A and B are shown apart, each in its own frame.
Chain A
């Protein structure tokens, strides 16, 4: 008992470290729920361009990123914006967005990435989903 009292803080610390490891592994393996769609080469190439041109400085995916431009999570399924229109913006820029001189192939790869993100879910949550505990439940897969 005296030993536990003496080492109580190291014991709590060790338990928290173990919890961290277990929790992290659980998040890695099960955290994405039943979403199991794999990104293909083209999507990953588009994601790489997204990072290399630092698109996240101005745009958001699931509300995460900069606020200069709009959230692009579901831009592909926006009925007011056709695929041709989006590709044109990617290639020419806008008054606010610089022109990055993307090739046709690169523009296609970015589109593939945006389509993949769009297929994963919806960025906006309807206030109607909120339960009495102030929480809400989402379909873990848009295709459900």
Chain B
């Protein structure tokens, strides 16, 4: 499962680089490499990389944590086989030009059935172990459980458009679609952040932090945001005005998280000194820096007065890329390096220099990539909202920044692929 996840990541990155360059010369490529095929390939491979790597890690962590008397692999094997086959078929359907779904889930809707079946089997496996163990659970088990439950709920919600009542009112249709999409991201964040928390407990050896009320406070704050804070996607939609107001108010609670990160900066520094030589920790540390940067950007984008300039611009892309690469991918790399080091205790030592170069270079490339997108978004937002310029003219102003973004993207992809190859080449001892 983890190796398949890495192949998905390599696919997402390779297609992403091709798509970035096709963007500049569509006339030449539109018949052979059409953007309407490349974009869903890139997006879906990225989304499935996150879910597959998170799931793959969780199979191992859940077993380690719950320690079931009898390890049952049947459900897991069926679930992961369905998941992998469905993912391959989805990517193949994009190559063949078969669509039919909605943003992020553009594949023919029939694939929703095996995705849900696979996830339900995964959920049964997880909760069977959880209820058997019983007792008080650390916060990361709560986060994993939340991620599993909410993916089922929100992914089902993302498919409600198939019911005519939802589809026939365009405002309801768009609102529900983006309510679901926003919350799905929240659900995978719960899975991935739970993994980061678990890894931190394992690295530090301090389990007590996972039972502290402060940890639970931030977990519940995250869950509240998952449920209510998706409205920034549809601020400009003429839905009921309270939809925007609720989301705006809830999103402002994220300042608490941001302030907490700033307050714990000193403690983080001494922790970093202590664990700096542990490779998975380095990836976790990188993800924390990205959490800070992206959270700040997300809070600003959640203010309607700012959102009118950022909505529909490259700032949204910066937010998505910063979160999926800077946060999710860094945590998932930490997770896979951690797991692989358990099965092969020499590979990290052998590849230490390469891993460090890959980590630093990918993060520096990502920073350039991220800043280029933000500046492009600011320029586009300014010209389109303040100057009422047309899309075509605004895009001309943005073009030089998109070159910076594309070139930084090549380096970013190259170094992330380099890290993935190190992992793929690692054999179990």
Q: Do A and B come from one complex?
A: yes
Q: A51-B99, A66-B35 are in contact. Are A20 and B312 (CB under 8 A)?
A: no
The residue in B99, B224, B384 that gathers the most chain A C-beta atoms within 10 A of its C-beta is B99
Encode contact with A along B241-256: 1 for CB under 8 Å, 0 otherwise: 1011100100000000
Q: Which residues of A contact B167 (CB under 8 A)?
A: 39, 44, 47
A134 to B304, CA, bound (A): 6
Residues on the B chain within 8 Å of A47, using CB:
167
B169 within 8 A of A: yes
Which secondary structure dominates where chain A touches chain B? loop
Docked Cα-Cα span, A1 to B100, in Å, equals: 53
In the complex, A70 Cα to B179 Cα: how many Å?
Answer: 24
Residue of A nearest to B101 (CB): A51
Known contacts A20-B153, A67-B317, A70-B392, A96 near B240 by CB under 8 Å: no
Bound-state CA distance A31–B30 (Å) is 39
Q: Give complex CA distance A125, B388 in Å.
A: 11
Interface centre among A54, A68, A71 (most CB of B within 10 A): A54
Q: How far is the CB of A99 from chain B (nearest CB, A)?
A: 9
Nearest A residue (CB) for B157:
A24
Q: Mark A29-63, 1 if CB is under 8 A from B, else 0.
A: 01111011111000010011001111111101111
From B40, B146, B169, B236, A63 is in contact (CB under 8 Å) with B236
Which residues in A have their C-beta under 8 angstroms from that of B27?
95-96
B319 contacts partner chain A, Cβ-Cβ < 8 Å: no
With contact pairs A13-B142, A16-B220 given, residues A57 and B36 touching in the complex (Cβ less than 8 Å): yes
Q: Are B228 and A140 in contact (CB under 8 A)?
A: no
Inter-chain contacts of A93 with B (CB < 8 A):
30
Range class of the B interface residue count: 35 or more
Verify if A89 is at the interface (C-beta below 8 Å from B). no
- Among A31, A38, A67, point to the contact of B175 (Cβ < 8 A): A31
A124 touches B168 (CB 8 A): no
Closest chain-B Cβ to A128's Cβ sits at a distance in Å of 11
- Interface residues in A, total, Cβ within 8 A: 66
B284-295 to A contact mask, C-beta < 8 Å, 1/0: 000000000000
Contact at A37–B169, with CB atoms within 8 Å? Answer: yes
Chain B residue nearest to A6 in the complex (CB):
B136
Cβ contact of B312, chosen from A13, A39, A64, cutoff 8 A: A64
Selected from B168, B238, B244, the residue in CB contact (under 8 A) with A139 is B238
| Nearest 5 pairs of A and B residues by beta carbon | A63-B312, A121-B238, A70-B391, A33-B240, A32-B171
- Where the two chains meet, the residues of B that have a C-beta atom closer than 8 Å to any C-beta of A are 23, 26-27, 30-31, 34-37, 39-40, 99-103, 106, 142, 146, 153, 157, 166-172, 174-176, 178-179, 216, 220, 223-224, 227-228, 233-241, 243-245, 248, 303-306, 308, 311-314, 317, 384-386, 390-392
* 13 contacting pairs across A/B (C-beta < 8 A): A32-B175, A52-B100, A54-B37, A57-B106, A62-B237, A64-B178, A66-B39, A96-B27, A98-B30, A122-B238, A123-B312, A125-B235, A134-B305
